[in-house]
Amino acid sequence: MQRDWTDIFGGLALALIGAGAAGWASLHYDLGSLRQMGPGAFPVGLGLLLAVIGLIVAVPALRRAGEAVPVEPWSALAVLASILVFGFGLRSLGLVIAAYLGVLVASLPAPRRGVTWRLMLAGVVTLLTVLVFRTGLQMSLPLWPVWI
Amino acid sequence: MGTWEGLVTGLNFALQPGVLIFCLLGVLLGTFVGVLPGIGAMAAISLLLPITYYISAEAALIMLAGVYYGAQYGGAVASILMRLPGTPQSAVTALDGYPMARDGRAGAALFAAMVSSFAGSIIGIVVLVLLAGWLSRVAVAFGAADYAAMMVLGLVAASTIGSARPAKGFAMIVLGMLLGCIGTDVNSGAMRFTFGQTELLDGVNLVALAMGLFGVAEVIGNVRDPERQAVTEKIGFRQMAPTRDDLRRMVFPSLRGSGLGSFFGALPGTGSTLSSFLSYAMERRIARRPERFGHGAIEGVAGPEAANNSAAITAFVPTLTLGIPGDPIMALMLGALVIHGVQPGPMMLEARPEMFWGLVASFGIGNLLLLILNLPLIGVWVALLRIPFRWLYPAILIFICLGVYSVRGLTYDIVAVAGIGLAGYLLALARFNPALLLLGFVLGPLIETNLRRALLISRGDPMVFLERPISAAFVVAIAGLLLLSLVQWVRRRRRAIPAR
């Protein structure tokens, strides 16, 4: 049977997060009393509330047909990889190389073939980045790899 | 400080070149992102948050506000010319604006959108000044219990009103409030949910959260969007000139839309999307020939555009006078102010007149700039509509990374943006609204503080929320909204069962 899987998984995931947060908070933080609420009281309340709402989302979805969701795994992967390449490369490789590589990785899933436009786009964006953030905003970032 | 005196102070402040430039920058950037489908005002404001560290709090607020209402103008352009609303509010404008453009009346539709947006803004400014003055006098009497109840009302309203699935909205708000608990508890100093990571001691970074949820997640969702077709029609002044009939049809819808927008914008949790939908529905209901709607009725452009622009302005009423953001964009504005160490509240009108009156004056100036600039610049915006998204999004990603890095200089925050972006993309796929998460994130800590204070004062007696008349009124409203959405849910189920 076709079920509304997005709401089932989404609701259950939220319910688990809520129950987990409530459990963790009740074990590690002081609940206090109503008059003098401790640091644990509010998170425990919220966690339990989220667990209940998650179930309210998930349970009715069991008996209902849902629509398929268009997932773009490659877009997500390329975008996240681009951020991580840039983030970890920023201090070791320097702004220029990190930005150039970051743009190249990000442009991989774009709906247009060809290498030239990607290389050129990376060049233009890198130049803009250096102009805006190094020259304009004067952020202290290494331009080139530290070993040069 | 009287109204006129205040306006003069505000104009003097907002017309300084160092402030005016940020107003201009804000409205131009706002129009730009409003025109571009794929990134919205939320993403643009989050991207600008780090830049606001370099300027004064007043100039920052004026610039961010400019982005917000500028995006409404830009969104109208994209909806009319391409039926690609850049903002949710302008989706309504596409209903009749796009058919007008297809009939070769794009110029008249754009004129109607801009002039009624301007009229809506001016009426919004008047309402803002009147309401803010009154509310900040009343709000001095508000206690902790009243604040807590009002904020909860705002959250409940934001997730129930106009929502098909209130439970999913609530889930996002509670998740946001839980994220808001992360970090050092101000009352006890306990470290909550930090798991030994010192980077989390100050809580989740608002800039990283907003950029991940709205920047990264929106980029992922739009990367593979098909190329958009270019607009072929040339639009100049001659095409913009409305006929006498157009003008006559625009006046009352604009006025009615402004009234609706000013009212709903000022209420917490409703905002400009709802008011533009309501204005459209109202115009269609009272029209003598409702069948024209959807086929290029100019009333259907003028009313909603006036409504969403006036709502965008009166939305600042609760934010500035009570320190309570009514919608997610206002939550970002409040976040920007808190970054600068400014806590808005009833005293702000007196304590920082330049901030309040400067902002009010900047609304007038900014909208005038939009009206003057957008008519000749329309060709530029049309050209911008032709920029393929594949040229833009890699640059957006790099700018997001550097923006979030500039706040604390930590690679940790860039990695966090990637993680939050992935979470935001998954939430959007499953049709959870990440904007509500952000609203909960900003309001959660405020609610906790006021709740704890209220219960401390009442010696642990929860009846305090019903004994104080102000908070009792809010509690009744909360119960009413919850009951209403329960009734709607039951009705929908009853209707669904015989269908099986």
* Residue B224 touches chain A, beta carbons under 8 Å: yes
Reading the block at residue B50, the tokens are: 């780090």
Q: Cα–Cα distances in Å, from B178 out to A21, A106, B159, B335, B416?
A: 8, 32, 16, 17, 17
Does A1 have pLDDT greater than 60? no
- B1 three-class SS: coil
Does B497 have pLDDT greater than 70? no
Cα–Cα distance measured from residue B117 to residue B258, given in angstroms and rounded to the nearest whole number: 9
| pLDDT tens digit sequence for B372-397 | 888 778 778 777 777 788 888 898 89
From chain A, pick out residues whose CB is under 8 angstroms from the CB of B422.
Answer: 76, 80
Query: For the residues B176-190, what does the mean pLDDT come to?
Result: 87
Query: For the residues A4-14, what does the mean pLDDT come to?
Result: 90
Q: Which residues of B218-233 are buried (b: 16+ CB within 10 A; e: fewer)?
A: bbbbbbebeebeebee
Does B259 have pLDDT greater than 70? yes
| pLDDT tens digit sequence for B63-72 | 999 999 998 8
Mean pLDDT of chain B: 85
To the nearest whole Å, the CA of A147 is away from the closest chain B CA by 20
* Residue A8 touches chain B, beta carbons under 8 Å: no
Query: For the residues B438-462, what does the mean pLDDT come to?
Result: 88
Quick one: pLDDT band at residue B500, thresholds 50, 70, 90? very low
Interchain proximity B224–A111, CB inside 8 Å: yes
First to last CA, chain A: 62
* Residue A122 touches chain B, beta carbons under 8 Å: yes
pLDDT of residue A49: 95
> Which are the contacts of A93, defined by CB distance < 8 A and separation ≥ 6?
A101, A145
Quick one: pLDDT band at residue B499, thresholds 50, 70, 90? very low
When scoring B402, B446, B492 by the number of chain A Cβ atoms within 10 A, the one with the most, hence best to mutate, is B402
* Residue A47 touches chain B, beta carbons under 8 Å: yes
Does B407 have pLDDT greater than 90? no
| pLDDT tens digit sequence for B109-136 | 888 999 999 999 999 999 999 988 888 8
Query: For the residues B85-110, what does the mean pLDDT come to?
Result: 80
Query: For the residues B281-297, what does the mean pLDDT come to?
Result: 85
Interchain proximity A17–B185, CB inside 8 Å: no
Query: For the residues B23-35, what does the mean pLDDT come to?
Result: 89
Q: Is the separation of the CB atoms in B94 and B296 below 8 Å?
A: no
pLDDT of residue B24: 93
ipTM of the complex: 0.92
Cα–Cα distance measured from residue B170 to residue B188, given in angstroms and rounded to the nearest whole number: 28
pLDDT of residue B173: 92
Quick one: pLDDT band at residue B226, thresholds 50, 70, 90? low
Q: Is the separation of the CB atoms in B170 and B489 below 8 Å?
A: no
Interchain proximity A112–B185, CB inside 8 Å: no
Q: Indicate the range of A82-86, B161-165, B179-183, B406-410 predicted with least confidence.
A: B161-165
Residues 417-436 of B with CB under 8 A from A: 417-418, 421-422, 425, 427, 429-432
Interchain proximity A76–B171, CB inside 8 Å: no
From chain B, pick out residues whose CB is under 8 angstroms from the CB of A11.
Answer: 171
To the nearest whole Å, the CA of A64 is away from the closest chain B CA by 11
Please name the amino acid found at residue B211.
M
pLDDT of residue B85: 66
Domains of chain A, residue spans: 5-61, 73-136
From chain A, pick out residues whose CB is under 8 angstroms from the CB of B394.
Answer: 82, 102-103, 106-107, 121-122, 125
Q: Is the separation of the CB atoms in B440 and B175 below 8 Å?
A: yes
Query: For the residues B413-436, what does the mean pLDDT come to?
Result: 91
Does A91 have pLDDT greater than 90? no
Does B138 have pLDDT greater than 70? yes
Report which DSSP code applies to B139: G
Q: Is the separation of the CB atoms in A55 and A18 below 8 Å?
A: no
pLDDT of residue B236: 63
Does B166 have pLDDT greater than 90? no
Interchain proximity A87–B418, CB inside 8 Å: yes
pLDDT of residue B81: 81
* Residue B55 touches chain A, beta carbons under 8 Å: no
Does B432 have pLDDT greater than 70? yes
For A9, nearest residue in chain B (alpha carbons): B430
Query: For the residues A125-134, what does the mean pLDDT come to?
Result: 88
Cβ-based burial of B439 (10 A; exposed 0-12, middle 13-18, buried ≥19): buried
Domains of chain B, residue spans: 3-495
